[in-house]
Structure formats: structure tokens, C-alpha cells
Amino acid sequence: MKRPDTPWYNKYDMQLRDDPARRMRDRPRKGHWNLELEVQVEKFYTDVLGLTDEGLLKTLTALTEVRALKRREVLVETGARQQEVVFVLEGVLRGYYLDMNGREITDCFVVQCGTPAMSSFTLDTPSPISIEALTDCRVLCIPTEEAMRLVGQNMEAMSLYNRLLQQSSQVHWEIKNMLCQHNAMERYQWFLRAYPGLIEQISNKYVASFLGITPVTLSRLRRALREGQDGA
């Protein structure tokens, strides 16, 4: 009996290879995953990131892993390629690099729900910084390869990617402008406005490093600002 040119099992295999959502949906998931969590993940994509394409939502939800990070856990190291697109749900991340003397310099903080923890503007290049958790965190992870495949295939995914890049670039240059063109007190006051409440959650050394000052100077600025407010 002659076999069909394209057997049903070959068709299924081809669909499996071409459908990242099905491929990821069929894999064993790490950690706790249930229908309620799946609904929460989809709500994140609709309510926080503003996605509406039902097919894209279904695929992204299937690709997604929600992960818990412990304090000081490293998400990506300098020189490594970022294997996952990561969005913060809860907690505080920081990006940092080592200067010529081996000291850690804080480059950025990631604190707002829905903010991507991107080590560079292009995810397929070695990371110029390391990213670590400063507090216990919950993050949402999508394999970079699958995410970039969606960006190349879906207009809404491409629009989201471009919007996130634009926002990241804007924040990056706002930080650089503030650090280069303002004095220490102005930088500290800007930090309090840009990251409300963060000063109470993390070590002063990370804030000082970010602002380009010493922890001693930061303590002096905090004291001067408190005394000024008390005397007002």
C-alpha cells in the first residue's frame, strides 16, 4: 500500500516545529504553573503591556515562565548573551559593571512592574553589564530566540519591541544627562523623584554608586535635605 506523500504525523511534526506556542506548551514547566497563573500572565500582557492580538497573547502566554529570584541572584553576567527577555513583576533589579579598578558601578535600576530587564539595546550581543536582584523578585521570562521570532512575524510584537527600545533609550539618556550636568544634591533629589521609596529598600552604596558619589557624601546629602525640610 502506497504511503501518502505527506503523512499526518509529518504534518504534525512540521506544525510543532513551526509553532513555538505549541512547542513551549508541551514542554515540562519549571515551578508552579496552573490556570490561574496563566490568566495572570495574559492579564500582564494586556493590562501592563497593552497587547490585544489574541494569537500573539496565546503564543506569549505559552512561551512564558514566571520565576522567583532570590536577593543577589545574578540574571545575566557581563559578556554573556541574554538568553531570555525578562520583565519585572515584583522587586528590584540593578545593572552594574566593573570599572578599571574592579569596583562595581551601578548603571541602572529596574523597579517598575512591566519594565524589561535589558542588558543592551540588542539582545543578540554580549551583555555590557551584569544584572542582579537587589531584593527577592518575581520576573516573567520568555526565551530570547522565540521572542525575536515573534517580533519578526507579528506587527504588534514588533511595535511593542520598538516602543520598549525607545523607552529604554529615553531613560538611559535622561540618566546620563542628569549625572553629567547636575551637582550632587540635584542628582540626589532627582533620584528621589524618579525612584520614589527606593532609597529605603536598598543599600546606600548602590544609590551612591549610581549617582557617582561616595556613601559618605550620600549620607551628608540625606542629612542636609532632612534638616532643610525640618527647618522649613
Output the pLDDT for position 73: 96
Q: Say if residues 132 and 75 touch (Cβ distance below 8 Å).
A: yes
SS3 74: strand
Q: CA 110 to CA 199: how far, in whole Å?
A: 13
Output the pLDDT for position 16: 34
Q: CA 77 to CA 75: how far, in whole Å?
A: 7
Q: Of the candidates 155, 127, 165, 123, which has an alpha carbon nearest to the alpha carbon of residue 142?
A: 123
Output the pLDDT for position 36: 82
Dihedral-angle region of residue 91 (phi above 0 means left; psi in -120 to 50 means alpha; beta otherwise): left
Q: CA 138 to CA 190: how far, in whole Å?
A: 27
Output the pLDDT for position 77: 93
CA distance readout (Å), 224 to 15, 114, 217, 218: 65, 34, 10, 10
Output the pLDDT for position 118: 84
Walk along the chain (232 residues) in steps of 10 and give the mean pLDDT of each run. 35 38 45 73 95 95 94 93 93 95 93 88 84 96 94 95 91 91 96 95 96 95 85 54
SS3 222: helix
Please, what sign has the CA dihedral across residues 102, 112, 25, 19?
negative
HSE of 24 in the Cβ direction (CA atoms, 13 Å)? 18
Give residue limits of the domains in the chain: 30-181, 183-232
Q: Say if residues 96 and 40 touch (Cβ distance below 8 Å).
A: no
Output the pLDDT for position 145: 92
Strands (E), the chain: 65-69, 74-76, 84-90, 93-98, 104-110, 130-133, 137-143
Q: Which CATH fold topology does 30-181 show?
A: Jelly Rolls (2.60.120)
